[in-house]
């Protein structure tokens, strides 16, 4: 498989989230927070997306690879309103959507393509808006809710410790960088090396 780097096109990394201080640092925002870590590593600054697309975008380079980063400014269940227009406007060489997943043990990561939403409302919105499931996803395991806690309440909680969250963020950013540098197989290998569950 030819990587975006080899094709000379930008790779688009999209992180899902709920906007605003109320949701900062929550499990549901881990995808966008991981993309923000990649931006920090490249010293890339976010700005408003063009043409009124409800997202923030940033540009950078990773070696010879061009990278574009994006975070919707919509709420999670309306992510498709940003992702669909982002894909149409930028026509990336490849792209991946990073998001939280309560069906994976904390710290476990998986790369998937062409699957349904798995009950994730952000992914469901993207599928509904774009009309298909043919895109890459980085599923970041945030663990299962304890006892009978409502999953919706669980993902809106912050992590138990800042250290726990920071380790997960850095590891997720490593997988995203592997996707840019080496394509899907490199990302899968990086994600597999981090399997904890």
DSSP 136: E
- Round the average pLDDT of the chain to a whole number and report it: 90
Residue 197 has what pLDDT?
A: 43
Matching residue, tokens 């980085």: 138
Which of 59, 52, 135 shows the shortest CA–CA distance to 98?
A: 135
Whats the size of the chain, residue-wise?
197
Matching residue, tokens 């201080």: 21
140 band by pLDDT with thresholds 50, 70 and 90:
very high
Dmax (CA) for the chain in angstroms is 49
Which of 23, 31, 58 shows the shortest CA–CA distance to 169?
A: 31
Q: Say yes or no to pLDDT of 195 above 60.
A: no
Q: How far apart are CA 106 and CA 164, in angstroms?
A: 10
Residue 144 has what pLDDT?
A: 86
Which distant-in-sequence residues (6+ apart) come within 8 Å of 140 by Cβ?
30, 31, 34, 98, 99, 100, 101, 104, 109, 168, 172
Please compute the mean of the pLDDT values over residues 122-131 and round it to a whole number.
Answer: 93
Q: Say yes or no to pLDDT of 74 above 50.
A: yes
Judge whether 69 and 16 are in contact, CB under 8 Å: no
What does DSSP say about strands 47-48 and 11-15: parallel, antiparallel, or unpaired?
A: unpaired
Residue 120 appears among annotated catalytic residues: no
Residue 103's φ and ψ, nearest 5 degrees, are -85, 0
Q: How far apart are CA 153 and CA 86, in angstroms?
A: 29
Domains of the chain: 4-193 (3.40.50.1470)
What is the phi-psi region of residue 107: left when phi exceeds 0, alpha when psi lies from -120 to 50, beta otherwise?
A: left
User: Of 28, 99, 112, 120, which is the active-site residue?
Assistant: 28
Residue 193 has what pLDDT?
A: 66
Share of the chain above pLDDT 70, in %: 92
Please compute the mean of the pLDDT values over residues 112-120 and round it to a whole number.
Answer: 86
């Amino acid at each position: 498989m030819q990587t975006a780097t080899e094709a000379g096109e930008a790779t688009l990394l999209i992180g899902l989230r709920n906007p605003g201080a109320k949701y900062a640092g929550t499990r549901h925002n881990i995808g966008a927070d991981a993309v923000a870590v990649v931006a920090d590593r490249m010293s890339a600054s976010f700005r408003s997306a063009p043409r009124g697309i409800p997202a923030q975008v940033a540009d950078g380079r990773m070696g010879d690879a061009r990278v574009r980063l994006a975070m919707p400014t919509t709420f999670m269940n309306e992510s498709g309103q940003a992702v669909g227009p982002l894909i149409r406007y930028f026509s990336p060489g490849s792209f991946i959507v990073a998001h939280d997943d309560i069906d994976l043990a904390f710290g476990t990561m998986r790369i998937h393509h062409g699957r349904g939403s798995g009950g994730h409302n952000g992914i469901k919105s993207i599928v509904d808006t774009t009309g298909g499931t043919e895109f890459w996803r980085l599923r970041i395991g945030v663990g299962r809710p304890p006892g009978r806690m409502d999953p919706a309440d669980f993902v809106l909680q912050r992590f138990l410790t800042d250290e726990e969250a920071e380790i997960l963020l850095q590891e997720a950013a490593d997988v995203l960088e592997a996707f840019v540098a080496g394509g899907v197989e490199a990302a899968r290998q990086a994600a597999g090396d981090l399997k904890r569950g």
